[in-house]
Copies of this chain bind each other. A is one copy, B any other.
Amino acid sequence: MTPPLTFPPRPALPLTGGSWSDVPGAQCGVAKGRIKLRADRDDVVVLFTPGGSVAGVTTLSTAAAAPCRWTRDRLPGRASAVVINSGNANAATGRQGEADTLATAQAVAEVLGISADEVLVCSTGVIGQPMPMDRLLPAAREAAANLGDHGHRAARAILTTDLVVKEVSLDVDGVRFGGMAKGSGMIHPNMATMLGFIACDAKVAPEHLQPLVAAICDRTFNAITVDGDTSTNDTFLVQCTGHGKALSPESPGWASFAFGLEVAALELARAIARDGEGATSLVEVVVMGLEDDAQARHAARSIVRSNLLKSAIHGRDPNWGRIVGALGAAGVPHLDVLDLDIAGVPVMRGGQVLNWDEAAASAGLRSADVQITARLPGVGLGRAYGCDLSAEYVKINADYRS
């Protein structure tokens, strides 16, 4: 029997069932803006971490929405508020979109008694529609005026068509983290934006926080592929309130802090992938080897985004040929010595197909958590997260407007 490949286990920390606002110094407010006309639900959120620091990453899309560009220009920094709306992305809206973003930041800043430059803006929803400012502004003011421990309500308000609320909270070495995300649930794919918000009570300077957040984003939110498209509005923000431990990269507690932040981000990212539209399985691809982590991650992504493989996984078909094909198409070297496991079942060693247990692998693909593990020469380690491709996905996306 060939033993299965082992790889560094996924970090596991006890989660505490809390919300973004469980973190000391983090408060939020929620309101109904009816941004999508007729929708009688919470859709405007204000996050407030006065005196804290913020770092983050926004979409690389050249069609980045106005709020995304506003937020990007203020990262990293001391901005202490974030205003979020769901229902309208304020994307492809030209100059008017920029003016509306500024007006939204100003409205929240007035209520909180800070400057508009200290207010970041995130929007998610339909593209190319003017923002209904007559409804957004009053709701933003209302949310800013009613701050408290409303994290769970906020986590629901930021959703568009996601099926499930995505939250995380944990304590690591005396630092508390709380987070929420909205995924590429993409029942309505013009709302495919990925938003992630994490608060923590550590006191960290923006210039120390930013490189850490960028690196963690690459390994978590940027490692998700539901359908390969980057949205116009993707944003991941980490706010440190400063109510707890003071930390810098030289502190003894920095490694634990970084670990906790990564676990929080990974939990949210996995929840997003699992909630991919029409999906029945979370697919995690681990590539060990190649020259560095970036190369390994590229290889892992190439597997997880292959429509052929995603369809095969949906059909519980452990189709290793499609994995080799996807790696080859991505230009991955050394495939003549590839080791490959599907759902814990060894399939290839040294580039040769084993006498493998196809039935066991097929059974493994029925799990809600599917793992594909590849090993190649080299020291890199890359993971990517995605989901299977179902006929439901197409149906949802084809029938969007009908």
Residues of A within 8 A of B (CB): 59-64, 91-92, 94, 126-128, 186, 189-190, 192, 227-232, 305-308, 311-312, 314-317, 319-322, 324-329, 331-333, 335-336, 351-353, 389-402
- Give the complex CA separation of A192 and B230 in angstroms: 27
Task: Kindly identify which residue among B312, B325, B395 contacts A61, using a CB–CB cutoff of 8 Å.
Answer: B325
Check B402–A394 contact: CB distance below 8 A: no
7 contacts between A and B (CB under 8 A): A61-B325, A61-B328, A63-B325, A229-B325, A231-B325, A308-B397, A391-B391
Query: With a CB–CB cut-off of 8 A, which chain B residues contact A329?
Result: 61, 63, 229-231
Query: With a CB–CB cut-off of 8 A, which chain B residues contact A307?
Result: 227-229, 307, 393, 397
How many copies of this chain does the complex contain?
2
Check A306–B229 contact: CB distance below 8 A: yes
Query: With a CB–CB cut-off of 8 A, which chain B residues contact A306?
Result: 227-229
Task: Kindly identify which residue among B62, B312, B319, B322 contacts A335, using a CB–CB cutoff of 8 Å.
Answer: B62
Query: With a CB–CB cut-off of 8 A, which chain B residues contact A227?
Result: 306-308
Check A401–B319 contact: CB distance below 8 A: yes
Task: Kindly identify which residue among B312, B315, B328, B352 contacts A63, using a CB–CB cutoff of 8 Å.
Answer: B328
Check B229–A127 contact: CB distance below 8 A: no
Query: With a CB–CB cut-off of 8 A, which chain B residues contact A389?
Result: 394, 397
Query: With a CB–CB cut-off of 8 A, which chain B residues contact A351?
Result: 92, 94
Query: With a CB–CB cut-off of 8 A, which chain B residues contact A324?
Result: 63, 91-92, 127-128, 232
- Give the complex CA separation of A127 and B327 in angstroms: 14
> How far is the CB of A304 from the nearest CB of chain B, in Å?
13
Check A311–B394 contact: CB distance below 8 A: yes
Check A126–B230 contact: CB distance below 8 A: no
Task: Kindly identify which residue among B311, B391, B398 contacts A312, using a CB–CB cutoff of 8 Å.
Answer: B398
Check B192–A232 contact: CB distance below 8 A: no
- Give the complex CA separation of A258 and B126 in angstroms: 46
> How far is the CB of A294 from the nearest CB of chain B, in Å?
17
Check B328–A394 contact: CB distance below 8 A: no
- Give the complex CA separation of A351 and B62 in angstroms: 13
- Give the complex CA separation of A229 and B303 in angstroms: 10
